[in-house]
Structure 1
Amino acid sequence: MDRLPWSRFHLLLVVALGITWVLDGLEVTIVGAIGPMLQDQRALGLTVQEIGLAASFYVVGAVVGALGFGWVTDRYGRRVVFYTTLMIYVAGVIASALAWNFWSFALFRLVTGLGIGGEYAAINSAIDELIPAKYRGRVDLIVNGSFWVGAAAGAAGSLLLLDPALVPPELGWRLGFGIGGVLGLFILFLRRHVPESPRWLVVHGRQEEAERTVATIERRIEAERGEPLPKAEGFLEVHPRPSFGFGEIFGSMLGPHRSRSLLALVLMSAQAFLFNAVFFTYGLVLAKFYGIPETGVGLYLVPLAIGNFLGPLLLGHFFDTIGRRRMITGTFAVSGVMLGVTALLFGLDLFTAWTQTFAWIAIFFVASAAASSAYLTASEIFPLETRALAIAVFYALGTAAGGVVAPWLFTRLIESGLHGALAAGYAGAALLLLVAAVTEWRLGVDAEGKSLESIADPLSKAR
């Protein structure tokens, strides 16, 4: 798989699987943009605390979904899970559009989160195992960065859907959620072309199916290029088994790979805290501190989301050339310093709505690449048999530490109306980014251009 040239097959793979992050971005941004609208009695009449709590329900669902489906992905395969989780997401998001009060809305957000969390484990595993090693870093960053394509779409859509002159307030926010459901149904159709990971098939004793899958991929690429592919070189002897116990999996993560586990936890926690703190609440910040009406929030979120996508898109190449350790350290450190300066300026009340948005654009151009690299790190530094569960565990722990607390904390800081209080929250996030930079420099893995098996030996490797 690592010797294959880039082809239409790989492009289909990125589109069919990477759409998960587009959907997640759409979800998070729509919730952020419609937050003020949900307080309207013609909508759901929620309080600020209820909006923050509903956001936390979504994140809790994502954590539980990642853990549960992470184990299922390693046990039963990538393909069956990314079908199942997408269907759960579609059900949850359509139900969210039909919510009638706070508790129904929070429950449906929980279900939606279950689907999205499960997607993270299955999709990152499949992409890493099917994309050639020389492209893996940039592809992972761009796929994870595509969250912001969804965010931009959600923000732009909110400008129309939340305009009472175009759509009644009691209907607009419901249509916003409905868009995600329609997109999810379309992607279910595309995913029928994505095969099971041959790497997963081999270590689970399904050698013939793995050979057929690889042969089919090779035939498609040879037909596209009009020339035969180079011969595969090297071999790795493994002892296939249908399943691997939790003792072996966690023994690997907490034993020989414990420093890598600490690295993944720190990177995931830092980026989760930052992004959940800012993007679940920015609509509330604009309304509370700058008097921006809820119908105009999307105008500020669109350029911010675009800047977030351009970061991984334009910087991703360097994670494969300059290298993982230097780029991950640099992006976390630079974004941390920039955020610290922004916290100071906000605390001194020196921003307008637009100048603060421009500051966020600059910060998140770099921080978005850093956040995407956290997912890349968690997905490539552990043995194949533990990959999905490792992604799930560190996504769950990082999100629980940063993502569940951040929306609740920052909605309280916003409600205080004090610039200094919210600035302190931003300064705390900056400190976490700097800690992540130091951790990466000390414990990072130089994984650029290497096969997954050379980065971490499979548990089933012959000894």
Structure 2
Amino acid sequence: MSEARAESGRTLTTDIPARLDRLPWSRWHWTIVIGLGTVWILDGLEVTVVGNIAGRLSEPGSGLPISSGQITGVAAALYVAGACVGALFWGRLTDKWGRKKLFMITLAVYLAATALTAVSFSSWWFFLFRFLTGFGIGGEYAAINSAIDELIPAKYRGRVDLAINGSFWAGAVLGSLLAILALNESILPKDVGWRLTFALGAVLASVILLVRRHVPESPRWLLIHGREAEAEEIVSDIERKVEAETGQSLPRPETEITMHQRGSVGFGEIARTVFSTYRKRAVLGFSLFIGQAFLYNAITFGFGAILTTFFDVPTGNTGYYFAVIAVGNFFGPLLLGKLFDSVGRRIMISSTYLLSGVLLFGTAWLFDQGSLNATTLTACWCVVLFFASAGASSAYLTVSEIFPMETRAMSIAFFYALGTAVGGISGPLVFADLTESGVVGDTVLAFQIGAGLMCAAGLVAAFLAVKAERRSLEDVARPLSEVAGKASATT
């Protein structure tokens, strides 16, 4: 193995990125997936539980003086606002302080906030800690996606990233089932069940925090920030573990990169890089996030209202239907993810967006014709979201790999905040009246808006998506620290 070697001043030539990318899949990589990826399950659990137990929280005797409208309105908006602010705040620090420090801090913030939500005694307390829970979750997205992409080998990066982002829906299934238990007064008292669901989130976060202690800092981040000795030690330790597991020596890395070490990048340089140097990639990121945000709001924002208004489904039974579409959402990225690494990003991103949009147009037409009931509509949604979930997950993958490493966390944070704001603010404003009016044509229009924007994003991806499959991050987007003309093959 060649070691990172310092040249003059703060310039060094290293093969560490190539050494990470040529590793075979191993138990060590599973540790990364479990330690970093499970936070999306917590996010799905949080969002789903609150939506499903809103009615119980607002009932007399729940122990909390709050109305259902305040839960689905004020509390939901504060959670979204917290996620947006947290993404931008923590994203900046992730690029500055490192991936590991931030994915430990942000999970600790989530853990504390959700535990304190469980002991809410007043509406203002509940609102405050819903905001802080979102604040922690928002920061997780930037720190986790950065670390995953920089630690997972290039040939597996697409499928791993999609599967991890799609695990949000495993949390949604769990949240739906927990809500059913929490609402059953024969099992838990009215003022206890909802508190235990939040407490469970804190318990799960505690377990994840323990696992994360064994996840190292990104060697790529260490290299840029003048800590090449630590990067070398981490990568050498990983290589020893992989060779011991496989019983075979690893092949020599094929490339080196020469970079000039530097401190953190300022906002001005980040903005110029993302919106000037990589203007087309920024358009791609905007399109993908806005498309998926509107599609999901077109279907899920009025999910319960559509079932109860048009098909007379009892409010207490909507959780079962939601669990079904959540399963479709979960299996989409899980089963299609490998194709993003083999068939390629451009074909798969554009096709999942276009196919989900076209299928939603078809669902809208069937709904307008009166050809669907609660079961068949849910089946249609399940199929639409099977493809849409893979596409939505690929939006996170895209913005995490198509910008230079020095701007990665901030880029993820920016586009995540954009998508979250669109989904949590613009989406409800557009779809609330449409899906709850009781007029078939209004709900059809909501479906068509979501489908149209999803198709538009698919067309943008067909032209602008970057061929990133099986390529190193440094090849997809040249680091700002790289010394021009210095990348070379090792001999």
- Letter of the structure 2 residue corresponding to residue 292 of structure 1: V
Deviation at 1:346, TM superposition (A): 3.2
The answer (yes or no) to whether the contact 1:55–1:280 under 8 Å persists in 2 is no
* Matched residues, number: 463
Residue of structure 1 equivalent to 2:467:
446
Tell me which moved more, 15-24 or 334-343. 334-343
Residue of structure 2 equivalent to 1:147:
168
- Letter of the structure 2 residue corresponding to residue 144 of structure 1: N
- Say which SS state the counterpart of residue 237 (structure 1) adopts: strand
Deviation at 1:348, TM superposition (A): 4.6
Deviation at 1:103, TM superposition (A): 3.8
| Aligned pair partner of 2:259 in 222, 238, 244 | 238
Q: What is the TM-score of this pair, normalised by structure 2?
A: 0.90
Gap runs ≥5 in structure 2: 1-19, 485-491
Matches within 5 A, 1:170-181: 170-181=191-202
CA gap 1:281/1:363 in 2 versus in 1, 3 angstroms: same
- Letter of the structure 2 residue corresponding to residue 13 of structure 1: I
The answer (yes or no) to whether the contact 2:434–2:445 under 8 Å persists in 1 is no
CA gap 1:52/1:417 in 2 versus in 1, 3 angstroms: farther
Matched, 1:26 2:26: no
CA distance in 2, matches of 1:140, 1:132: 11
Tell me which moved more, 450-459 or 268-277. 268-277
| Aligned pair partner of 1:434 in 455, 458, 463 | 455
| Aligned pair partner of 1:41 in 60, 63, 68 | 60
Residue of structure 1 equivalent to 2:26:
7
Tell me which moved more, 373-382 or 170-179. 170-179
CA gap 1:169/1:360 in 2 versus in 1, 3 angstroms: farther
CA deviations over 1:145-196 (Å, ceiling 9, x no partner): 1111111111122222212222233322222222211100110000001000
CA distance in 2, matches of 1:388, 1:185: 24
Matches within 5 A, 1:100-111: 100-111=121-132
The answer (yes or no) to whether the contact 1:93–1:178 under 8 Å persists in 2 is yes
Deviation at 1:361, TM superposition (A): 0.7
Residue of structure 2 equivalent to 1:423:
444
CA distance in 2, matches of 1:32, 1:142: 24
CA distance in 2, matches of 1:447, 1:42: 55
Tell me which moved more, 449-458 or 285-294. 285-294
Deviation at 1:56, TM superposition (A): 2.1
Matched, 1:250 2:271: yes
Gap runs ≥5 in structure 1: none
| Aligned pair partner of 1:305 in 297, 316, 326 | 326
Q: What is the TM-score of this pair, normalised by structure 1?
A: 0.95
Instruction: Tell me which protein shows more helix as a share of its residues.
Output: 1
CA distance in 2, matches of 1:142, 1:279: 21
The answer (yes or no) to whether the contact 1:375–1:391 under 8 Å persists in 2 is yes
The answer (yes or no) to whether the contact 1:134–1:448 under 8 Å persists in 2 is yes
Residue of structure 2 equivalent to 1:413:
434
Deviation at 1:273, TM superposition (A): 2.7
Residue of structure 2 equivalent to 1:75:
96
Matches within 5 A, 1:42-57: 42-43=61-62, 44=64, 45-48=66-69, 50-57=71-78
Matched, 1:211 2:232: yes
CA distance in 1, matches of 2:203, 2:159: 29
- Letter of the structure 2 residue corresponding to residue 26 of structure 1: L
CA gap 1:170/1:346 in 2 versus in 1, 3 angstroms: farther
Pick the structure with greater CA Rg.
Answer: 2
CA gap 1:147/1:50 in 2 versus in 1, 3 angstroms: closer
Matched, 1:165 2:200: no
Matched, 1:331 2:331: no
- Letter of the structure 2 residue corresponding to residue 266 of structure 1: S
Matches within 5 A, 1:120-131: 120-131=141-152
Overall identity of the aligned pairs, in %: 51
Matched, 1:59 2:80: yes
| Aligned pair partner of 2:206 in 185, 188, 193 | 185
Matches within 5 A, 1:90-101: 90-101=111-122
CA gap 1:301/1:289 in 2 versus in 1, 3 angstroms: same
CA gap 1:323/1:196 in 2 versus in 1, 3 angstroms: same
Deviation at 1:101, TM superposition (A): 4.6
CA deviations over 1:230-283 (Å, ceiling 9, x no partner): 122211100001222222211111111011011011101221233345445423
CA distance in 2, matches of 1:274, 1:108: 29
CA deviations over 1:385-418 (Å, ceiling 9, x no partner): 0000000011112222233222354344344333
